[in-house]
Amino acid sequence: MQPRSLSTRLLVSVSILLILFFGVTILALDFVFQDLSRRAIQDRLDVQVIALLSASEEDSSGGLRPDQLAEPRFDNPGSGLYGEILRSDGRPSWRSKSLTGTGIEFPHVEVGERRFGELQRGDGTTVLSLSMGIEWQFRNRVTRTFVYSVAESLDPYYAQLSRFRGRLFGWFGALMVMLLGALALLLRRLLAPLRRVEREIEAIEAGDLTELGGGYPRELLGITTNLNALLRSERERLARYRNTLGNLAHSFKTPLAVMRNLLTTQGGREMTVVRQLDEQVGRMDDIVKYQLRRAAAAGGTGLGSAPVDVRDALEALRGALLKVYMERGLTCELTVAEGATFTGDREDLTEIAGNLLDNAFKWARTTIRITADRVVSPAARRDGLRIIIEDDGPGIPLDSRARVLERGARLDERVAGQGIGLSVVRELVNLNGGIIDIDQSALGGARIEVKIAPV
């Protein structure tokens, strides 16, 4: 899985924080709106009760009824505003026409008591009611108690609340999108130096640059400066390593050759000693050759190496070996996948493929087959490489496949070589993060597969 970028992580984190913040804000505003709306309804109910009291007149039956209604909705059935004046004995003294068919039953309250509450209509809808108990002194100085009740439908309130919530979500949604867009633009500008570092490191890996450029912000200056110092130190260390090892090996090479020439001129009774000395000199010569071949290879996929075109490298090796073994009339088939590259030092690839191909040419009867393709991984920046070399020779026995990768190991002393080629291959493959596998080929001989993992 491809890791998410810093910009994505920051945007996701800020989005979560904004959602939480806006969610709490929306809940708080929604609560405030509901509270204010209900208070407004209660205030209107208070006004309606006072208006009913002001308009109330005594009737001939000893009750009260409003003379003139300031609110015409009381006379309209289904208007959403309802009123009632109840006697102390529970009989209504007056009921608004709007109460017809609603099924609303107002509560009975004591004198001086004011009670707000929700009531249910017969159809299940909710109304908010206010009931207030009073004492009324008639002209004949008789005092009776009445309960004034008014109610208002909450349907307009719920509709208004729904519209408010819709607008609230719309406003905060648009605001969040604007904030995230502004933050994305800001992050793009702020993280531009990091993207520049990434591009320059990729250029260094491709061999187009040797160091990171300058002009970075102060916060990144320490990283870029130290990374440049590390790159310079690595190049210098590798050069010193190659030069020192090469000089050492060449220093030994000439004296060893002289000693061998002197030993070959000796004879007679000293032949046993000469043979033993010649064997030891031969071993020393093999070690020198082994170290020389190691000095020629970088080992590993260091920065600053351009990807190597595998087709060009393998075609060059195949052409050279076909000339060397021309008298044997061998056939070498080469198949390379499009875009196959080796991420590392060209000398490493030449050493790995050259040793394996040389062994295949030595042992093959008629045919050698080379196959190279890409090893792809979605999480890697660069593809890996798989090289398979097969021949139709005698093959490598199962119990000897691990041993042939050891330095100095040779299955047949009659075939020329120092027995160090496959050990160099194994070491270079390991240094480049790969594996080597020996198996039986469909051609009948050995099948050697080298797999370099993607990076």
CATH number of domain containing 150: 3.30.450
Burial class of 58 by CB neighbour count within 10 A (0 to 12, 13 to 18, 19+): middle
Distance of CA 241 to the CA centre of its chain: 39
**Best CA proximity match to 102, nearest among 132, 128, 133, 124:** 124
The confidence score (pLDDT) of residue 152 equals: 92
Q: Which residue has the higher pLDDT, 64 or 417?
A: 64
- Is residue 166 assigned to a domain? no
Structure confidence at residue 129 (pLDDT): 92
The sign of the dihedral angle between the CA atoms of 343, 344, 347, 350 is negative
Question: Mean pLDDT across the chain, nearest whole number?
Answer: 82
What Å distances lie between residue 70 and 67, 173, 385, CA to CA?
10, 44, 92
pLDDT score at 429:
86
Determine the 3-state secondary structure of 382 from DSSP: coil
Q: Report the Cα 377 to chain-centroid distance in Å.
A: 15
Residue 162 scores a pLDDT above 60:
yes
Domain count, the chain: 2
The reply to whether 273 falls in a domain is no
Q: Show which of 142, 160, 178 is a domain's final residue.
A: 160
| pLDDT above 60 for 414 | no
Query: Residue 417 — pLDDT band, cuts 50, 70, 90?
Result: very low
Dihedral, CA of residue 16, residue 22, residue 28 and residue 32, to nearest 10:
-160
Confidence of residue 265 (pLDDT cuts 50, 70, 90): low
User: pLDDT per residue over 14-57, tens digit each?
Assistant: 889 988 998 899 899 999 998 898 899 899 999 999 988 888 88
Asked if residue 168 is part of any domain, the answer here is: no
For residue 385, pLDDT beyond 80: yes
Q: Is the pLDDT of residue 1 over 50?
A: no
Q: Tell me what pLDDT residue 132 has.
A: 93
pLDDT at 418: 39
Q: Quick one: pLDDT at residue 345?
A: 78
Question: Could you tell me which residue, 350 or 208, shows the higher pLDDT?
Answer: 350
132 within some domain: yes
- DSSP assignment, residue 208? S
Tokens of 160: 């208004």
Does position 375 have pLDDT exceeding 50, yes or no? yes
> How confident is the model over 306-329, as pLDDT tens digits?
688 999 999 999 999 999 899 999
Task: Tell me the two tokens of residue 73.
Answer: 């909705």
Three-class SS state of 84? strand
Averaged pLDDT, 427-432? 82
* Residue at a domain's end among 112, 142, 160: 160
According to the model, what pLDDT value does residue 130 have? Answer: 92
pLDDT of 411: 44
Query: How far is 94 from 84, CA to CA, in rounded Å?
Result: 6
Q: Are the beta carbons of 168 and 28 closer than 8 angstroms?
A: no
Range with the largest mean pLDDT of 186-195, 214-223, 322-331: 322-331
pLDDT of residue 273: 60
State which of 160, 195, 213 marks the end of a domain. 160
**Does the residue 195 lie in any domain?**
no
pTM for the full predicted model: 0.50
Which CATH number goes with the domain that contains 445? 3.30.565.10
Most confident among 146-150, 268-272, 301-305 (mean pLDDT): 146-150
Q: Is the pLDDT of residue 393 over 80?
A: yes
243 contacts: CB under 8 Å, gap ≥ 6: none
Q: Is residue 69, in this structure, part of any structural domain at all? A: yes
Domain range holding 98? 12-160
Does the residue 240 lie in any domain? no
Residue 382 lies in a domain: yes
